[in-house]
Structure 1
């Protein structure tokens, strides 16, 4: 057993909660371009970006990494979203399009806190056993391989991966948060995850109006504190003392890992003091570098 923390963290491990949905066929790219919120036409073969699917009212149903394999093949790498359920929802909009929605249960997400072997930025790479994505950011290097071979589970490293996501402003939305937030409320412009120029898609009018009229009032705030995992409301004061009697809800925690989480809060919320779960919490800066 290695006693080198760096060597231990560089090991491959199974990344739980990640499914893959393949969209294949002559009309795959055109269908995805019409349904999803980012500009797939701007991707070359082998490139990927953050993308998502919205309701007609501009609320995020699913957030994912979209990889263009070639002109007739797309992969959606889905954190926290069941590929079969999403395929069923999308199937209602296929109509006469020539494409297939295929949940890829044979593919696994294998992660490591290490430099990618060949992938870089938005460019993926074909490696032994699968396709590699560069998932690194300001917090360090990470690689993700979508492969037919699995790796051993490691709860500590999986938790560290999720914490890294949150620290870089990638919200991990469970089913309770689906269809609740707009892309701007989730600060998804930081990930370059949506387009206001590519043309029509469900929710596009709401997204564009909010963007061009400057009506964004809330966004993501990164918080740290012992009460954060409770996913309670965020209060605008200390949890004890006279201020606690007049504290009011100012935001909502939407995802957490260990003692860190992301909350949707007013952009003018400032630096606190804040409390959640009846305990004090601290505002931390969101890290950069995860946009593609």
Structure 2
């Protein structure tokens, strides 16, 4: 990463629904490689990727970004999930690995609707002492993230806009009720390049690889818009027949898991839904 960390930017606001877990030690990369669904070993120092942790049955427990700071230091930037519970869950699999896993209450995540100062794509900028910057932009425009030791101001309007941007670009925001329910393919996570079918074993890998190589994925994400707020768990139907469920919502915008081939029109609670195309550009 850059020797000159980017300065704190005006217009930044707190992302209080994002937390940080650190993995440090000689086996940090190897441990993450064995436990998570993407190819952590393929990262170089100063790079990041989308990733996640699965149940043995291939269901997504949590989605997160993995940042490789150096050969012995990783950060997980985790939206929505309880980072203490997630860190404790990972800790159960450490065994003899030389890795320390910690939920980092001393680190804060903030966002900004603007181009990063120095980060670009999967390349980080800054350093642990002065703050780390990430490029979170997509087709709708630029965004940047900072992880540092001081919180940014709160801004409810910007926070809601940030969540809607995530959903419009196909990044599911999984609250507790949606954890351990969906496979990576059902969440269309290939769009984000968030999982690997080529690396070695990890929890759920057999299910993920079988679905991929046998072409058995029959459901995926759909971006929907309604005239009223939607909520995770809402049933999506066609002519009274339930087809799937909303899994993430931002007011009247939602992601639902539906059959890849589904009829139109769609309804929630009898009210019509507008189907929109997922936007590109958030893959790393």
Same fold (TM over 0.5): yes
Q: 1:132 aligns to what SS in structure 2?
A: strand
The 2-side partners of 1:18 and 1:129 are apart by 19
* Change in CA separation of 1:273 and 1:228 when aligned onto 2, cut-off 3 Å: farther
Q: How does 1:185-224 map to 2 (within 5 A)?
A: 185-224=186-225
For residue 273 of structure 1, the aligned residue among 265, 268, 278 is 265
| Residue pair 2:236, 2:266 contacting (<8 A) in 1 also | yes
RMSD: 1.3
Task: Give the alignment's TM-score, normalised by structure 1.
Answer: 0.92
What is the TM-score of this pair, normalised by structure 2? Answer: 0.94
Match of 1:53 in 2: 53
Contact 1:230 1:277 survives alignment (8 Å): no
Unaligned runs of 5+ in 2: 1-9
SS in 2 for 1:180: coil
Instruction: Please identify which structure carries the higher helix content.
Output: 1
The answer on 1:144 being equivalent to 2:145 is yes
Distance 2:16 2:253 in 1: 19
> What's 1:3 paired with?
none
Residue correspondence of structure 1 range 103-142 to structure 2 within 5 A: 103-126=103-126, 129-142=130-143
User: Does the 8 Å contact 2:228/2:251 carry over to 1?
Assistant: no
Cross-structure match for 1:233? 235
1:149 Cα deviation after fit:
1.5
User: How big is each residue's C-alpha offset from its partner over 1:102-125, in whole Å with a ceiling of 9 and x where there is no partner?
Assistant: 111111111100000000000010
After the TM superposition, list the runs of 4 or more consecutive aligned residues in structure 1 that deviate by more than 6 angstroms: none
Q: Does 1:284 align with 2:276?
A: yes
Distance 1:277 1:77 in 2: 35
Q: Deviations over 1:163-220 (max 9, x none)?
A: 0000000000001111000000000000000000011000000000000000000000
Which residue of structure 2 lines up, in the alignment, with residue 35 of structure 1? 35
Partner of 2:5: none
Which of these residues, 252, 264, 281, is aligned with residue 259 of structure 1?
252
Report the count of equivalent residues.
Answer: 274
Whether contact under 8 Å (1:227, 1:277) holds in the other structure is no
Q: Which stretches in structure 1 are left out of the alignment for 5+ residues? A: 1-9, 238-246
CA contact (8 A) 1:236 1:250 kept: yes
